Amino acid sequence: MAHEIERKFLLANQDWRALVTGSFVLKQGYLSTTPKSTVRLRVKSDKAMLTVKSKNTGIRRSEFEYEIPIRDAEEMLQLCQTPLIEKTRYTITIGKHIWEIDEFSGANSGLLVAEIELDTEEESFEKPAWVGEEVSTDARYYNSNLVAHPFTQW
């Protein structure tokens, strides 16, 4: 079974921008969101993924991800709850870890979240000065919840 162990943080300042090594635009929607799981579609350039994630247990959850044809994904996005999640993802490498900073646009404009994936829940990592409050277990920051309760309406 595939697992994802992820920690999420708000940003303390804009210093991270000088460290960015890559970026890309993501558009994603949710075909299903239940208390037990979510089914997400994500489009990144000419690639599309269908992802099933279980409910979080702390910072761990099951994750199953499959590439699907881009044309199918574009049509399936029309079946998703709106607003769709739109964001630019920036990547920064610090030590052996890759930080991903999501800068949301559209209905979630103004929200910035940094994420780091870990191999274990106890794994240590360097926390840069630009990383602020941890929101890993705050459901308001789950992308699936940002569809129903966009950041601009908080």
Catalytic machinery residues: 30
Cβ-based neighbour number of residue 69 at 10 Å: 9
Give the chain's radius of gyration (CA, Å).
Answer: 15
Query: What sign does the CA torsion over 143, 146, 147, 150 have?
Result: negative
How far is it, in rounded angstroms, from Cα 112 to Cα 32? 24
Tokens, residue 148: 């129903």
